[in-house]
Amino acid sequence: MRDSRITSLLQRLGIKETNPGATTGAVNGWLNTSGTPLVSCSPIDGKPIARVIQASRQDYEAVADRAVSAFHRFKMMPAPMRGEIIQEIGRVLARHKEDLGLLITLEAGKIISEGQGEVQEMVDIAGFATGLSRQLYGRTMHSERPAHRMYEQWHPLGLVGIITAFNFPAAVWSWNALVSGACGNAHLFKPSSSTPLTAIAIQNIIAPVVDRYDIDGIFNLVIGDRNEIGNPMLSDPRIPLISATGSTSMGRHVARTVASRLGRSLLELGGNNAIIIEPDADLDMASDAALFGAVGTAGQRCTSTRRIIVHKGIKPQFCDLLIRKYQQITIGNPMEEKTLMGPLIDQGAGTAMADAIREALGQGGTLLYGGDRLTLKGLEGGCYVKPAIIEARNHYPIVQQETFAPILYLIEYSDLDQALVLHNDVPQGLSSAIFTGSMHAQETFLSHKGSDCGIANVNIGTSGAEIGGAFGGEKETGGGREAGSDAWKIYMRRQTCTINWGRDLPLAQGVRFKPSADLP
């Protein structure tokens, strides 16, 4: 795997054969880490790319201390000036879009266009955060007391912990760090152990900006395992907010640990996303959306389409169309432009997919397409599969779970009311969609009676959200919101202020409290 092209790519991104696992973000901010080695292997062929010396607990303490110190300086910088820094970070990321996107492909297994798209998402969120730096608005309120003025304002929280998953090793960092940075916070980034090199490349790319603006300690990276880094972050009272992306089981651990010290947690967890397909839907468009939603990133997105809830009258036609499109998918090396689906992240993901298919069939499902393991010449160390389509019932226990793999369950319904019940009858609540030409069906789906998810789309698939809207979901998805809209508020603390500009001291609610005798 380590041919001259890859060696050149790593060199351009400042990645060496052995990389340190902790940095304060500046060019010379890498620590002489003393932890154990971590080898980053490419899911493309299972071969090593580079080795990282993980941070130790002592490294973590040093970086956290420096981050807290840096925050006290950074919070005093006017927000529009912080926005200028974020804007410059966006520009430098754009200049490295091709290389960083290729590294994401190499380390996470995404196809080239998805790797490039993830970097573009970082650039877009930088632009959003730059504008946000001039819009951290508070409200003014009318006081019930004469000669009083009331208003609210927002202050930075402090040190924000960011824990990310392998499937979006760059974009999720930017959703948090760049928006939170505009708000005035410092950051401690713990990436997935499957994708440490992407995190190191990000630090290298932004380091000149950190140096230019003298903000060493604001964007920090600490690579390590749960015991040395993860759990200390969750328990650290210096970190008022932990933003964590991952499985529901991981989210429960994060929520319990952070809540035990009365900290805040922002959770982006599992999805079990469905598309409802009405009888009047454009089936060609709907099948395209289902294809990308289920197969994009090899089914390893939290917004991946897991269920198709299709009307019984069009089910045979839709199923035939979808299978024909599945048969056209090019599966292989994601570094090649023609590939539409790359590998699963590792062999364990392949085993989980096989187990889920076996359970679905054992519970009464019918395999309509795919599900096979593939052995590709020269890529034997990677985990390649044919995406699966399974006819199933919504109540099957395996259908109620999220399997992080390209398995699509096909579920039949009779009318829209039944479709909505089926749609909402899962523990997760992230993304949802309906394909229809009916305004009645569309508005029902978007009403209180309709989708219970944080994201609801009409004639668009479940996967691929824009950064302008708040991203996140309900129920076991965790309730967090990131990226657009007013998601910035989670990174700040609200303060209500009341000013008495008169010469009397009236109390609220008409309360009277005055000594009976005048003092001399």
Per-residue pLDDT of the chain (520 residues; tens, 9 = 90+): 457 889 999 999 999 888 988 888 766 688 877 789 999 999 999 999 999 999 999 999 999 999 999 999 999 999 999 999 999 999 999 999 999 999 999 999 999 999 999 999 999 999 999 999 999 999 999 999 999 999 999 999 999 999 999 999 999 999 999 999 999 999 999 999 999 999 999 999 999 999 999 999 999 999 999 999 999 999 999 999 999 999 999 999 999 999 999 999 999 999 999 999 999 999 999 999 999 999 999 999 999 999 999 999 999 999 999 999 999 999 999 999 999 999 999 999 999 999 999 999 999 999 999 999 999 999 999 999 999 999 999 999 999 999 999 999 999 999 999 999 999 999 999 999 999 999 999 999 999 999 999 999 999 999 988 899 999 999 999 999 999 999 999 999 999 999 999 999 999 998 988 876 666 6
> Residue 156 and residue 418: Cα distance in Å, rounded?
46
Q: Which of 268, 278, 402, 412 is catalytic?
A: 268
Active site residue 268: yes
> Residue 250 and residue 229: Cα distance in Å, rounded?
15
Q: Which position has the token pair 């980053």?
A: 40
The CA radius of gyration of the chain, in Å to the nearest whole number, is 25
List helix spans (H) across 278-339: 283-295, 315-326
Q: Which of 118, 183, 228, 302 is catalytic?
A: 302
CA distances from 418 to 79, 94, 312, 318, 381 (A): 49, 46, 12, 19, 44
Q: Which CATH class is domain 273-475?
A: alpha beta
Six-digit token pair at 12? 């351009």
Of 423, 422, 485, 483, which is closest to residue 453 (Cα–Cα)?
Answer: 423
Six-digit token pair at 376? 């590709």
- Cα 224 from chain centre: 19
Of 198, 243, 22, which is closest to residue 104 (Cα–Cα)?
Answer: 198
What are the sequence ranges of the domains in the chain?
Answer: 4-269, 273-475
List Cβ neighbours of 60 (8 Å cut-off, separation of 6 or more): 22, 222, 224, 228, 229, 232, 233
State the Cα angle at 38 between 33 and 40, rounded to 5°. Answer: 125
Q: Which CATH class is domain 4-269?
A: alpha beta
Six-digit token pair at 51? 């080795």
Kindly report the pTM of this predicted structure. 0.96
Of 58, 323, 86, which is closest to residue 183 (Cα–Cα)?
Answer: 86
Q: Which helix (H) or strand (E) covers residue 418, if one does? A: helix 416-424
